[in-house]
Amino acid sequence: MCADLDRSKAIDLAITQIERQFGKGSIMKLGGKERVADIPAISTGSLSLDIALGTMGVPRGRIVEIYGPESGGKTTLALHIVAEAQKANGLAAFIDAEHALDVTYAKKIGVNTDDLLISQPDTGEQALEIAETLVRSGALDVLVIDSVAALVPKAELEGEMGDAQMGLQARLMSQALRKL
């Protein structure tokens, strides 16, 4: 019983220290009186998917990776999210690293292509610099990068066929994600 009391005091002391250092709400019991604030989200355009995600869409201010097989609907889902953001008077940008955006299809889905910012960068570095600049502006509601696989580093593009370019893209992505 005494050991449980000591543990309880120790954790209370640690929580107090963390809150003093990082602010109230920086640590809490998940089932406690304090609740994690509702996370604002942008709908995916699919009620069942919004419900399954648990936040009624994709969370704002977060990096969300959509993963799946080729022709699995990743770009279509991203375009639906763009359309939903635009319906709510949001601003969206689309970095088309694949150089494959079908504008006619995007319009059919509901994307206002006149207001959509689009970039078709030549290199992975250029794409990620553009993304960083747009994110730092604080003006965007949605930024889509299509696709990570198409973010080819400049060194790889300029190198010879068969050159060993191990880990360049991974390094590029790792660095970019830390900045974003």
Q: Is 81 exposed, middle or buried, given 0-12, 13-18 or 19+ CB atoms closer than 10 A?
A: buried
Q: In what order do the strands lie in the sheet with 142-146?
A: 117-119, 92-96, 142-146
- C-beta of residue 60 within 8 angstroms of C-beta of residue 141: yes
Contacts by 46-49 with C-beta closer than 8 Å and gap 24+?
46/80
Domain boundaries, the chain: 1-34, 74-179
Local confidence pLDDT in tens for the 180 residues of the chain: 567 778 989 999 999 999 999 888 788 877 666 555 678 899 999 999 998 888 889 999 888 999 999 999 999 999 999 999 999 999 999 999 889 999 999 999 999 999 999 999 988 888 888 999 999 999 999 999 987 777 777 766 666 665 566 666 667 666 766 776
Residue type at 33 in one-letter notation: K
Superfamily the domain 74-179 falls into? P-loop containing nucleotide triphosphate hydrolases (3.40.50.300)
Instruction: Count Cβ atoms below 10 Å from residue 138 Cβ, excluding itself.
Output: 6
